[in-house]
Amino acid sequence: MVRVPLTPEERERGERFGALLRAARGERSMVEVAAIAGLSAETLRKIETGRAPTPAFFTVVALASALGLSLDNLAGDCVIEEPVERRAG
């Protein structure tokens, strides 16, 4: 199966998501949070650094739960506003 390249917006959204997770993790270690979420620390590292910008839905749910984050707020914080000229079309 060939993967379609990510758009710049998808990459930016992944980086924003990773930054939100890092901020929510705070002083807790990656290993601790990953274990609570049922993930490997390497998977969490890839998501936080934007190298895995489109994690599976249940991975996002597990991380949100482990970090005490609302899925609604998390999704809203990851939305990238479209430029005005693209919305008009």
Q: What is the per-residue pLDDT for 2?
A: 83
Q: What is the per-residue pLDDT for 87?
A: 52
**How is the chain split into domains, by residue range?**
8-79
Q: What is the per-residue pLDDT for 28?
A: 97
Interval 39-79: pLDDT, tens: 999 999 999 998 998 999 999 999 999 999 999 989 888 88
Distance of alpha carbon 21 from alpha carbon 69, whole angstroms: 9
The yes-or-no verdict on residue 82 having pLDDT over 70 is: no
The CATH number, out of the four listed (3.90.1170.50, 1.10.260.40, 1.10.1510.10, 1.20.120.1200), of the domain defined by the range 8-79: 1.10.260.40
Percent pLDDT > 70 in the chain is 91
The yes-or-no verdict on residue 84 having pLDDT over 60 is: no
Q: 38 is written with which tokens?
A: 């049922």
Of 82, 60, 81, residue with least CA distance to 72 = 60
pTM of the full predicted structure? 0.82
